[in-house]
Amino acid sequence: MLNCREMSELGSDIIDSHLGLRTRMAVFMHLRMCSRCNRYIKQLKLTSQVLQQLPLQDEAVDSQAILKKIQALD
C-alpha cells in the first residue's frame, strides 16, 4: 500500500499514466481513502491541462495567471 509521501513522489507519473498496473491499482486504492491525495492529484491534473492549453512561448510562464485558471476550474 502506498503512503502519502510516495503518492506525492509519483506525482506527474500518475498524471502521465507512466505507471504499471500494480502501481496504478495502489494509487487508485490510496485515492479512494485519502482525500488529501485526491485533492493533490486533482490539482496536478488541472495544472497539466492548463499548461497544455498555454501557447508555447519563449517568455517565462506567468504562474499567477496559471493559478487563476486553475482556481477558476476548481
- Of 1 and 72, nearer to Zn ion (C-beta) is 1
In angstroms, the CA 19 to CA 8 distance is: 14
Should residue 19 be labelled a site residue for Zn ion when binding is judged by CB under 5 A?
Answer: no
DSSP 4: H
Q: Whole-number minimum distance, CB 34 to Zn ion, in Å? A: 3
Site string for Zn ion, 24-43 (x = CB under 5 A): ----------x--x------
4 near Zn ion (CB under 5 A): yes
* CA–CA dist 35, 20 (Å, integer): 23
Half-sphere exposure of 12 (CA within 13 A, CB side): 4
Closer residue to Zn ion in complex, CB, 15/34: 34
3-class secondary structure, 47: helix
Counting residues that bind Zn ion (by CB under 5 A) gives: 3
In which residue are the cell numbers 497544455 written? Answer: 52
The residues binding Zn ion (CB under 5 A) are 4, 34, 37
